[in-house]
Chains A and B, each alone.
Chain A
């Protein structure tokens, strides 16, 4: 049964009780929550995920709970608790979903060190992955959301997770966090996007989450082969510009962009080396989302044609 198939009251009871198991491919999380409104929003955003009882091994055991003490009567707060620890200060109770999503990202970045974790959006088409490594504020999540809305399979808007043994990109499709103007932008971009509630007073301004599509969730255990690296940069009013990036520059940018490059040392060096050797690398400056999506689709198609021509001439 999928999470979205459960009645809110039933799902809320599960969340307040033993919790549920959330398997998003890259990691499995045991989630418990006793915060008003959270279960309903979570049920919408994770509607396509299977609802499983919390059994087996979990990389992350997380719960959301209301802060205790007198303050809860004046200005209620919510805490993210992972394995009994609180890694963050409490948030206002009406920002429960952003706190949960940031908390899970924090845990993935800290714990999934058997993968190389690039700070990157990632989508796939026909088994081929496009990675969008970028710093915060460069439009990475918005562009990832736009690509997903145009039929690319969402792998992640936050983690380009590479399997060290073969360099495959491992999916981690979770809700995409859109901030401020990006929320309305995505509403206009596609009428079909499933946007959850807007949380107006977070530390990053207004935040709303876009639920991953059913297909991306169903294929969350299906890796993709990286073939294209695009370093995106949103610049208001800029004309679309796609430029090749030298492999050495791509290497330098990726090695400083990864969450755990220094921790993994030689394994990370090998993984980044393989990635830049196997991918075509570009920078993309954009203002218009449609143009950016088309440009990436064109780069991918052009590469596909070249690969096919190479395979033919090789025989």
Chain B
């Protein structure tokens, strides 16, 4: 679970590096990390989240809203735990980083 200060702003994430490269492949995304020199393939869910974080910092709540808008016709609710797990994985790969407060809002 991400650290939360009671009453404080939700934690937020954004893509790590300004020179991260990405290529959309149908509904998936190939990502090149210029620090680790590694290539990653993100599935459609991962691609949607990462594309948001390439543009701006976002909290879990904001990401859920984005994903629900993108998947309006799918009907299946998106749980915060799913997004948290995905963010943890992207963070572990060095593709995203946590930002403090209202940075990049």
Taking Cβ atoms with an 8 Å cutoff, the residues of B that contact A are 21, 23, 25-26, 28, 30, 32, 34, 37, 39, 41
- CB <8 Å contact, A265 and B32: yes
- CB <8 Å contact, A262 and B37: yes
Contact-size category for A: 10 to 19
Tell me, in angstroms, the Cα distance from A266 to B23 when the chains sit together.
12
Which of A82-90, A270-278, A299-307 is near enough to bind chain B?
A: A270-278
Tell me the dominant secondary structure on chain A's binding face.
Answer: helix
CB distance from A58 to the nearest CB of B (A): 31
Known interface pairs A248-B28, A248-B30, A270-B23; 10 further A-B residue pairs with C-beta atoms within 8 A, sorted by A's residue number: A246-B26, A247-B26, A248-B41, A265-B32, A266-B21, A269-B21, A269-B23, A272-B30, A273-B25, A274-B23
- CB <8 Å contact, B25 and A251: yes
Taking Cβ atoms with an 8 Å cutoff, the residues of A that contact B are 246-248, 251-252, 255, 262, 265-266, 269-270, 272-274, 276-277
Tell me the dominant secondary structure on chain B's binding face.
Answer: strand
Which B-chain residue is minimally distant from A276 (CB atoms)?
A: B25
CB distance from A279 to the nearest CB of B (A): 12
Which B-chain residue is minimally distant from A256 (CB atoms)?
A: B39
Tell me, in angstroms, the Cα distance from A272 to B41 when the chains sit together.
13
Which A-chain residue is minimally distant from B19 (CB atoms)?
A: A266
With A262-B37, A270-B21, A277-B23 as known contacts, state yes or no: A251 contacts B32, CB within 8 Å.
no
What residues on B are CB-neighbors of A273 within 8 Å? Answer: 21, 23, 25, 30
Which of A252, A265, A277 lies in contact with B37, CB distance below 8 A? A265
Which of B26, B32, B34, B41 lies in contact with A252, CB distance below 8 A? B41
Which B-chain residue is minimally distant from A261 (CB atoms)?
A: B39
